[in-house]
Amino acid sequence: MVQRKAARFVFADWRWQSSPTYMMNKLNWLPLETQRMHSNLFMMHKIIHQNVAIPLSTLPKRSRDAVRFQPVYGRVNAYKNLFVPTSVAWWNNLPNDIINETMFSTFKSKIEKNL
């Protein structure tokens, strides 16, 4: 909703016939949910490859294939929407060629191209 209002503001077009989706596409804006997913995956990559001062022990245990993590379950929606549970779920759904990428710049370009 905020992003749609911002697109209308940028174009100074408040008419109800105008499409905020069209405006957002014209501005090449990704939806906020997609931006959030990319940011979380970038941070996960940095944590896994120890490029930030966040210990790897912050993340759950690795699964049997050693590239994915055990899913994090929570009964409360407030917990399910935190960084670790959502990021682990998104990470586990990535293809192997993206997960196995060690260079951050290549990982970032693959994420932006494929998701």
Does 42 lie in the same domain as 26? no
Does 95 lie in the same domain as 61? yes
Determine the pLDDT at residue 65: 84
Determine the pLDDT at residue 78: 87
Does 36 lie in the same domain as 26? no
> How many structural domains is the chain composed of?
2
Which residues of the chain have a pLDDT value below 70?
none
Note whether 67 and 100 are within 8 A (CB): yes
Does 68 lie in the same domain as 52? yes
Radius of gyration of the chain (CA): 18
Determine the pLDDT at residue 101: 95
Q: How far apart are CA 71 and CA 88, in angstroms?
A: 7
**Which amino acid belongs to residue 33?**
E
Does 11 lie in the same domain as 64? no
Q: Which two tokens stand for residue 27?
A: 């501005």
Determine the pLDDT at residue 84: 95
H helix runs in 15-99, sequence order: 20-26, 32-48, 77-80, 83-92, 96-99
Does 91 lie in the same domain as 43? yes
Does 82 lie in the same domain as 71? yes
Range of the domain at 72: 32-114
Helix (H) or strand (E) holding 7: helix 2-11
Q: How far apart are CA 24 and CA 89, in angstroms?
A: 27
Closest CA to 23 of 39, 50, 4, 43: 4
Does 87 lie in the same domain as 64? yes
Determine the pLDDT at residue 66: 84
Does 92 lie in the same domain as 56? yes
